[in-house]
Amino acid sequence: MKKIFIDAGHNYSGWNTGAVGNGMREQDITFEVARDLGIILRQAGFETMLSRPTLQTNLGHDNNSAINARWQMSNAWGADYFISIHANAAGGTGAESFYWDVTAEEFSRTVLDTFCREMGLRNRRNVLTSQWGVIRQTNCPAILFELAFIDSPLSNPDVEILRNRRWDMAAALAKGFFKYFGVTLRSNGEGDAIERDGNIRFNSIEELPEWAKPTITGLVRSGYLRGDGGGLDLSMDMARILVVLDRAKVFEKRSVTN
């Protein structure tokens, strides 16, 4: 199966941090969408690598090395396709995708068209450009994808989507990948929706939604959860149940969340 390198655009802090707008930071959005895209693609059998495996990851030691680290990681890993995820700024609306090599044109257009249709966002443009260093030196087809405008006026859908629909954005990107690669989703009887409550398995603390992290971290530390066999292998329902039990203080003797 194809190897997909997923770059969460920008660093958490220091150099090469992202745009800000409406109380949000680009690098926090890109991390969540990249992480969730990785979860969905792995479920479908792709291999993935994330440029920022944790929210707080900072790459390089200055702006240039932060950008170079991304394509260097991708090339060293031998990625087949590369996506760098960003949020736009300067007050517009909609999504756009950039590619540097013509071999990425159809991939770029398919992901962009699918994403815009799924999210109800304006389809701005699919552009061949040498503007972005992160996609100029990959050994594979590469795109830089702008999800929506972080500083858009609230009359546009961008801000609500960036704030509240990060999983949906990852699912919409994934659907573009599936369309391009000819992957057929197993039907759940209601079309081809990618349900977060469906067959998703979380294998590490970082993959979990924020609300589940304190409980699961505590259970791992206390030895209740071991993840025998390599990963935690938790479904969404299992995570929910454990959080409810934790709230009910079932694990209190072992002081799970402290």
* Residues found near Zn ion in the complex (CB under 5 A): 9, 18, 86
Beta strand extents in 2-93 (DSSP E only): 3-8, 20-21, 24-25, 47-50, 81-88
Tokens of 222: 């206390």
Q: How far is the CB of 35 from Zn ion (least distance, A)?
A: 17
* CB-based contact 169:114 (threshold 8 Å): no
Question: Is residue 144 within 8 Å of 88, Cβ to Cβ?
Answer: no
Nearer to Zn ion, 14 or 231 (CB): 14
Q: Catalytic annotation on 146?
A: yes
Q: What are 74's two structure tokens?
A: 């991708």
Task: State the nearest-atom distance from the C-beta of 3 to Zn ion, in Å.
Answer: 24
- Closest approach of Zn ion to the CB of residue 173, in Å: 15
Closest to Zn ion by CB, 132 or 180: 132
What is the token pair recorded at 188?
Answer: 């759940």
User: Per the residue annotation, which of 105, 146, 210, 252 is the catalytic one?
Assistant: 146
Indicate the residue whose CB is closest to Zn ion.
Answer: 86
According to DSSP, residue 207 is labeled G
CB of 144 to Zn ion, least distance (A): 8
Place of tokens 């995708």: 97
- In whole angstroms, the minimum distance from the beta carbon of 26 to Zn ion comes to 5
Q: Is the dihedral of CA 159, 36, 55, 2 positive or negative?
A: negative
Going by C-alpha positions, the residue among 80, 251, 58 that lies closest to residue 181 is 80
What interhelical angle do 166-181 and 105-119 show, nearest 10? Answer: 140
Which of 18, 157 has the CB closer to Zn ion? Answer: 18
**CA dist., res. 3 & res. 173, Å (int):** 16
Active site amino acids: 146
